[in-house]
Amino acid sequence: MKNSLELRGRIPLMHEAYDIQHVQEKWLPIWDQIEPFKSGRADDPRPKKYVLDMFPYPSGDLHMGHAEAYALGDVIARYWVQKGFNVMHPIGWDAFGLPAENAAIKRNADPRAWTYENIAVQKASMRRFACSFDWNRVLHTCDPEYYKWNQWLFLELYKKGLAYRKDSAVNWCPDCQTVLANEQVVAGLCERCDNAVTKKKLNQWYLKITDYADRLLDDMSQLEGQWPEKVLMMQRNWIGRSIGAEVKFVIEGRSNPVTIYTTRPDTLYGATFMVVAADSELAAELVAGSGVEADFAKYLDGVKAATDIDRLATDRPKTGIFLNRYAINPVNGEKLPIWASDYVLADYGTGAIMAVPAHDQRDLDFARAMKLDVKVVVDTGEEDPNVTGIATGGDGKMINSGSLNGLSKSDAIAKIIEELAAKDAAIAAKNYRLRDWLISRQRFWGTPIPIIHCPSCGEVPVPEDQLPVELPDATGIDLKPKGSSPLGAIESWVNVPCPKCGAAAKRDADTMDTFFDSSWYFLRYTSVDRHDVAFDKKAVETWLPVDQYVGGVTHAILHLLYSRFFTKVLHDLGHLNFTEPFTKLLNQGMVLMDGSAMSKSRGNLVRLSDELATHGVDAIRLAMVFAGPPEDDVDWADVSPSGSVKFLNRAWRISGDVTSKPGVDFKTGDLALRKVVHKSLHDISFAVESFRFNVAIARVMELVNATRKAIDSGCGPSDPAVREAAEAIAISLSLVAPFTAEEMWENLGHKPAVALAGWPTIDPALLEADSVTAILQINGKILERIEVSPNISDSDLEKLAFANPTISQAVKDAEIKKIITRAPKLVNIVL
């Protein structure tokens, strides 16, 4: 045979594979010249797509997690480029933060050097990793050029009353020697260093994210189906809206009533005592003159000494102290003893509750510990909580509740609020678990807060024309954490005249939480060349919202919630014409080794640079993307990079086998192979667009297998369909294995870049199968399979079924109850 003779001549009997390292070195400079991923040319007629990867923190070189994240983001960005979109796919660095500062302390140097060195290392690695970033849109949050706009934004928030200072017991990490936002405390531990977080009373800056709680919740309807359900759930839980009522209780011997918050006003008749948070101002006020001040002070000391870890213990016994005061239940005038306890939180609701032990487990635990009354007011059909010690929290019929008797929970809630509202004793109310965002940090390496404290004028914003307030050089300055910002010790920096009155004043020495930086960086990419504005309104309106955001689920409630908040604020300030920043979100999983997160101390660290040196960039990218669904964790122990190398070589060899010339008319090619090509392209598109990249690659593998077969034992290497297949393989592979794809593209006689080749047009006529297998069932059991036309009608298929000997034999004279026909797939005859 001519084909096999040709083959023997062409393929050396020895192993044939391309030199991975050589190919990588070969194409990088060529791509640098072509810049296939430069976006936003003014004359670009293509429709836009904004594909965004979460920007990295520059701590050392890229690791396996980066490799996965950027491989996935790249598939999406490169796909849309192939589909003819003007894709913006930028990258930058989230460059402020503690690791740089800690490294600087260790080296007794300025954090800048360490930061920019690492950025350079990562940038070089990203280039070698063939990330399709637009290198003309880079930003670093630690550049004064960037953080100037943090300060501008802060002042915008300040002007709107959305940035404010208050005294509060804040989360304090004794190890990092700085305060933490609520979101940065994970199970009572600091998210950075895993040390137990304590409380400290400080005056700090907050952003009023709670003003946006309802919109942050309600606008999630726009994200439904576009964001992972898991992230939406986490944000919902985090915001934690609850609906209930505020009820006023008159206090004996106090002129003003105390307001409590409850979600169960229906159980008001069951209230048997009141509890106030031991660490609240209300408790301190109520205890004054009660005669139990000393006991209370002792109890409070114990409460303050407890860490969050102690508080989190689930089996912690209830403690508290009777304040020797009484409240009057507004529904029946009963006298309720007032207790102070640490099971009531000072900063949720009003810091005071009515206790209904029969229907709330915590209240019941407390009542049993303190021998207080338990009064059942809802008949749920369950056993008496007095006996069981289990509170009955469910719905039922109201009893012992005056005018509410016989009502259901929801009816009783509505009725009692109405009754009490008429007496000005209650009002429907909402509460949130979400707290305002504490942004002050007592550290050096961050954005200085642009406020000057003047002894006579108070807080004075730094005038806009004096922005940025730049960080001084840290060389020779003690950056060691000591509970107050190192900036405060730099006399030449901190002492300034008041912008208002000119008197001696001091700069605010704290810096901003670095999450401030990342809450709007996606806007800045559109305008990195603009020095007069944070972002160009028109450019932002062109590119935003981000069409596709890719990043780790670790940011589900921190970065993603803050970014949504900033977007809404900027919208309200008239800077944006949209309210949600990220239309679609993909959360990739983590890269594990032997079932657990990689770490040096655990001894299971896989170094990305080693893997790249052994298997090459393409194989690692392919292995990451093929390992499974992107949102699942990848266990590197289950992954076979050498299998990827094998496949890429197999694909690459096909490009060398093709003997037809570029531009040959595919229509004259082998029909069977052409159908496989078009079906594959169609399936690959569909899989990529639905984030099933592993499936997309499986389809490419099938196409490679089919083409191999066609070359070796089918239509042969000169058939135009083989070229069509090889080109489809190269273009498909360009999403995940750019070096191999470019090499194939060149082998096929084309000029670079394959990234810009364009997704082949799919011929719908070629998507139709010649025949499909229909299954013939009796009572749901498969008896026969027949080949039929894909366009067969239900009735024709039924006729064929009854004509089938096996079926007619099975049916015989039996009574047919039902025939279910789904042409062209099956006929099911129910006897």
Residues numbered 10-29 forming contacts with RNA, rule: CB under 7 A: 13-17
**Residue 24 CB, nearest approach to RNA (Å):** 19
2 touching RNA, by CB under 7 A: no
Q: Please, which residue, 610 or 712, has the CB nearer to RNA? A: 712
237 touching RNA, by CB under 7 A: yes
Q: Are 405 and 398 in contact (CB under 8 A)?
A: yes
Binding mask 576-615 toward RNA (x if CB under 7 A, else -) reads ----------------------------------------
**Cα(155)–Cα(158) distance, integer angstroms:** 5
Q: How many CB atoms lie within 10 A of CB 9?
A: 8
User: Which listed residue (332, 388, 456, 642) binds RNA by CB under 7 A?
Assistant: 642
**Residue 47 CB, nearest approach to RNA (Å):** 28
**Residue 404 CB, nearest approach to RNA (Å):** 16
Amino acid letter, residue 706: A
Phi, psi values for residue 227, rounded to 5°: -110, 155
Q: Are 748 and 727 in contact (CB under 8 A)?
A: yes
Query: Which residue is listed with tokens 């954090």?
Result: 111
Closest CA to 688 of 736, 755, 739: 736
User: Which listed residue (702, 763, 784, 794) binds RNA by CB under 7 A?
Assistant: 702
814 touching RNA, by CB under 7 A: no
780 touching RNA, by CB under 7 A: yes
**Residue 263 CB, nearest approach to RNA (Å):** 4
244 touching RNA, by CB under 7 A: yes
Q: What is the secondary structure of 376-403 as a DSSP string?
A: --EE-SSPPHHHHS----S--EE-S-GG
Strand, coil or helix: 772: strand
Angle, in degrees to the nearest 10, between helices 738-747 and 617-626: 120
Through-space distance between the first and last CA atoms of the chain, rounded to whole angstroms = 55
Token pair recorded at residue 386: 């007095």
**Cα(355)–Cα(238) distance, integer angstroms:** 25
Q: Please, which residue, 2 or 817, has the CB nearer to RNA? A: 817
Q: Please, which residue, 174 or 228, has the CB nearer to RNA? A: 228
* Residues 6 or more apart in contact with residue 221 via CB below 8 angstroms: none
* Residues 6 or more apart in contact with residue 158 via CB below 8 angstroms: 164, 451, 461
Closest CA to 457 of 419, 416, 491, 502: 502
**Residue 634 CB, nearest approach to RNA (Å):** 7
Q: Please, which residue, 470 or 632, has the CB nearer to RNA? A: 632
Q: Please, which residue, 139 or 592, has the CB nearer to RNA? A: 592
How far is residue 646 from each of residues 74, 450, 606, 735, measured CA to CA in Å?
A: 22, 57, 21, 18
User: Which listed residue (495, 773, 793, 795) binds RNA by CB under 7 A?
Assistant: 773
Of 161-169, 206-214, 801-809, 818-826, the window that binds RNA (rule: CB under 7 A) is 818-826
Of 40-48, 215-223, 416-424, 707-715, the window that binds RNA (rule: CB under 7 A) is 707-715
**Residue 713 CB, nearest approach to RNA (Å):** 8
**Residue 296 CB, nearest approach to RNA (Å):** 17
Q: Please, which residue, 87 or 378, has the CB nearer to RNA? A: 378
Q: Please, which residue, 17 or 124, has the CB nearer to RNA? A: 17
Q: What is the DSSP letter of 757?
A: S
Q: Please, which residue, 76 or 755, has the CB nearer to RNA? A: 76
**Residue 614 CB, nearest approach to RNA (Å):** 14
Q: What is the separation of C-alpha 658 from the centre of its chain, rounded to a whole number of angstroms?
A: 45
How crowded is the C-beta side of 414, counted as CA atoms within 13 Å?
Answer: 4
For RNA (CB under 7 A), the number of binding residues is: 83
Range 608-627, binding RNA (CB under 7 A): 626-627
Q: Tell me the sheet residues that pair with 818.
A: 830
Q: How many CB atoms lie within 10 A of CB 295?
A: 15
Q: To which H or E segment does residue 3 belong?
A: helix 2-10
Of 28-36, 172-180, 228-236, 517-525, the window that binds RNA (rule: CB under 7 A) is 228-236
User: Which listed residue (78, 318, 559, 575) binds RNA by CB under 7 A?
Assistant: 318
Range 170-199, binding RNA (CB under 7 A): 186-187
Measured on CA atoms in the order 8, 14, 16, 18, is the torsion positive or negative?
A: negative
Binding mask 253-282 toward RNA (x if CB under 7 A, else -) reads --------xxxx------------x-----
User: Which listed residue (48, 650, 682, 750) binds RNA by CB under 7 A?
Assistant: 650
Range 48-87, binding RNA (CB under 7 A): none
Q: What share of the chain is helix, strand, coil (3-state, %, to 5)?
A: 45, 20, 40
User: Which listed residue (132, 519, 777, 804) binds RNA by CB under 7 A?
Assistant: 777
Q: Please, which residue, 353 or 370, has the CB nearer to RNA? A: 353
Q: How many CB atoms lie within 10 A of CB 812?
A: 7
Helix (H), strand (E) counts: the chain? 28, 34
Amino acid letter, residue 23: V
Closest CA to 112 of 141, 137, 142, 87: 142
Count of residues in the chain: 831
Binding mask 89-128 toward RNA (x if CB under 7 A, else -) reads ----------------------------------------
36 touching RNA, by CB under 7 A: no
Strand, coil or helix: 828: strand
Range 333-362, binding RNA (CB under 7 A): 342-345, 348-349, 351, 353, 356, 360, 362
Q: Are 382 and 415 in contact (CB under 8 A)?
A: no
Range 133-152, binding RNA (CB under 7 A): none
User: Which listed residue (109, 196, 234, 606) binds RNA by CB under 7 A?
Assistant: 234
Of 439-447, 689-697, 725-733, 738-746, the window that binds RNA (rule: CB under 7 A) is 689-697
Q: Please, which residue, 314 or 601, has the CB nearer to RNA? A: 314
Range 424-483, binding RNA (CB under 7 A): 431, 433
What beta strand segments (E) does 71-228 contain?
Answer: 86-88, 92-93, 139-140, 163-173, 178-180, 185-186, 189-190, 198-207
Range 359-398, binding RNA (CB under 7 A): 360, 362
**Residue 210 CB, nearest approach to RNA (Å):** 11
Q: Please, which residue, 449 or 706, has the CB nearer to RNA? A: 706
Q: Please, which residue, 349 or 717, has the CB nearer to RNA? A: 349
Of 115-123, 227-235, 369-377, 529-537, the window that binds RNA (rule: CB under 7 A) is 227-235
Q: Tell me the sheet residues that pair with 507.
A: 452
Q: Helix H segments across 491-616?
A: 491-494, 514-518, 521-524, 537-543, 559-572, 608-615
Q: Please, which residue, 371 or 818, has the CB nearer to RNA? A: 818
**Residue 512 CB, nearest approach to RNA (Å):** 22
